[in-house]
Structure formats: structure tokens, C-alpha cells
Amino acid sequence: MFVPSPTRSTIPTRLTRPTPPSRPARPSLPARPTHPTLLALGGYAATRLIGLAVLAIAAAATGEDGLHRLKGRWDSVWYVRIAEHGYGYEITVPNGDVHSDLAFFPLLPALERGLSTVLPMDAATAGLLVSWTAGLVAAWGIHRCGAQVFGTRAGVVLAVLWGVYPTAFVQSMAYTETLFTALAAWSLYAVLRGRWILAGALCVAAGLTRPTAAALIAALGITALAMLVRDRRLPLRTVVGVLIAPLGWLGYIVHVGVREGSPTAYFDVQAAWGNSIDGGVALAQFIVGLPWPAALGLCAALALLGLLVALCIRQRQPLPLLAYTIGVVFVSLVGAAYFGSRPRLMMPAFGLLLPPAVALARARTRTAVPVLAGLALASGAYGAFTLLGSGPP
């Protein structure tokens, strides 16, 4: 009888002990909840870095200060002034209209003031910090919404697509778009998960950020109404969430009314800026006044927008997301705002990107990645052209 044989049989056992069965499965445990999120945030961050790189190259070639264009132009200047001096500033433009800083909602300048107080930075730099951080939080929330509805891969692509939106360069500016979109995306995700009080609280904060929060408030209300019709009852948490949702938006409107002594003061301020609601008349007049090739191109763009909305409906997107998307598009089109700002105003409507996101998610990675990279370069080039130009986004 050969004795060492049992000893040999124990060798494989001893060698395999440091590698328990759980170790090969280890990546699958954290990968499912965390890896897609990291992929979405990494992809989004890559799009913004590409945009910043294109801007830096273009700024160096033209002798401009790219960083100044990000934190010290157009609306950014108004937010910084509010952060540093509070409300009460106004200017009279050449046509006699009075532009008041009361047109700007208070959350971003409040954050700029708070950060510049506790950190060694000025309010303008604090605005960039808020915007860039909020952009990542927004991409995370957008990813979660997309993953909740159409799967993890679609959620990742959706977050990256939001980063290559034509006016995505605004996401790198000290503007409110990223902050508002972050709050809106997580509010909608909370609704999709049935966490209505959290959704309402986030909606309050969104209502202190941009007037577009009216679309988010409406989406929550419409969803609750549909639940009431379907179930003939509403849980208390849903009622509470819907009731608190408009408090931020409404609170600022009331504040301006009390300050100015008129219940319509905020809307009067907006009208002085040329942002009154006209049902789309200004948009129609703008199109008619264009040369016919430009008018045809703009009509084609509006037709594409209509197609995206139709595809969102055809996808049977969840009611809160669909109502929010249509609401943001509607608010962006029926106002008399400067036309160049309308694509930016629609940027928080990330639901518009779900149809192409689902299509790209079905494609192979070797196809989707070059497409997204090309879109990032195109978006960056358009952003550099706009930022280094003369008109506001």
C-alpha cells in the first residue's frame, strides 16, 4: 500500500481553501448595483471632459479665457451678484425695459454664497462647483430612472446621451440646469419607487431653482390623479407628497409678490425680460422672419422634437416621466423667450432621450461607443462656438 496517496489527495483541497466559492462570484455582488452606476457617471464625466477640452483648445486658438466664459457670462453674472449682494439689482436696457434680478430663483445663489463663505473660493467658482457636482448627481438620477424603466444598459446610455445634448456645454457653466435636473430626476425616481414624500421634498427644492419646476409639480399631480381614478383612493404619503411639491415654486412667487406689492409681480418681472407666456406666437413670428432655408431647417428640428415626443408616448413611458417631459417641452415652447435659449430650456426633459437611448442600448458596444464619442465631439464643438461667440445660450 502506498501511503503518500492520501497526502496527495489533500493538496488540491488545501490549495483551494484560500479561494472559497464566494471569491469567483465576488464581482457579481457589487457589480450589479454599482458597476452600471460607475459606468454611467464615468461616461457622463467623459462627455463633459471632452467638451471642456474642445473649449480649451478653441479658447487658446482665439486668445479667449475659456474658464471665464464658464463662470462669468450671461445668467451666471446675475446669480453671482445675487450671491454677493442679495436681491434688488436691476438695469434698464436700450429699449426701455427694466431687467430685475427677481427673475432668478434663489437656490443656486444661496448655495454659491454658502460655499464661498466656508471655502476659499469666490461665488463664481462656487457656482461652477455646484454645477459640476450637480451634473454628476443628475446623471446618476437619470441613469436610475432609465434603468428602472428600460433596464440597466439603457440607463447607462441615457445618462451619457444627456451629456452630449446639443447645449450640454451649459452643464459645465454656473447655471441652474444641472441643479434643477438633478432634483427633478431624483424626484421622478422617488415617484417611480413609490416614495412620494421624498419626491415632494425634492420638488420643493426644484421649485426654488427654476420656474420650469411647474412641469415637475404638474407631473406629480397628474400621476396622483391617475392613481385616484384607478384605485379610488390615495395613500396618505401620496397626498402629502403632492401637497408639499409646489411649496418651493409657489413660495418664491409669493415672496416676490409681497416684496413688490403685487400678486402678479413675478410674472411682470418675467414679462419685462421678454419671457411672458404667449402660446407660441413669438416662436411662430421668429420662424416666419427667417430666410426660407433657415426656416425649413428650424421646422425640421421642431418636427424631430414632435417625433421624439410621439416615440416617448409610444414607448409607454411611466406617467410621471412622460408628463414631466411633455410639460418641460410645452413650457419651453409657449413662452416668448429668446429663441436661442429654447434648446437649453428643454435640456432637463431627459425623457426625450429615452427612445434613442433604448435603440443604442440594443446596439453592440463597438457601435454605441463611437456614436456617443462622435456626439460628444460635436456637442463640444457647438459649445465652444457658442461660448466664444456673442449671444447667450
Q: What is the pLDDT of residue 391?
A: 64
**Residue of 46, 50, 47, 73 whose CA lies nearest to 388:** 73
| Domain-located, residue 180 | yes
Indicate whether 112 belongs to any domain: yes
Residue 7 lies in a domain: no
Report pLDDT digits (tens) over 357-368.
999 999 999 999
| Domain contains 209 | yes
Report the percentage of the chain scoring pLDDT > 90: 74
| Per-residue pLDDT, 393 | 63
In this prediction, residue 362 carries a pLDDT of 94
Task: State the pLDDT at residue 377.
Answer: 96
CA distances from 307 to 160, 213, 313 (A): 21, 24, 10
221 domain-assigned: yes
Integer Cα distance of 310 and 299 in angstroms? 16
Q: State the residue range of the domain holding 72.
A: 37-387
Predicted pLDDT at 16: 38
The residue-averaged pLDDT of 103-111 equals 97
In a domain, 19, yes or no: no
Residue 283 located in a structural domain: yes
Given pLDDT bands bounded at 50, 70 and 90, which one contains residue 84?
very high
Does the pLDDT at position 28 exceed 70? no
Q: Is residue 14 part of a domain?
A: no
All three cell numbers of 282, joined, read: 413669438
Ramachandran assignment for 54, one of left (phi > 0), alpha (psi -120 to 50 degrees), beta (any other)? alpha
Question: For residue 369, what is the enclosing H or E element?
Answer: helix 365-387
What percentage of the chain carries pLDDT values higher than 70? 90
pLDDT digits (tens, 9 = 90+) for 33-53: 458 999 999 999 999 999 999
Q: Global pTM?
A: 0.89
Average pLDDT over residues 218-243: 97
Q: What is the mean pLDDT of residues 89-117?
A: 93
Total of domains in the chain: 1
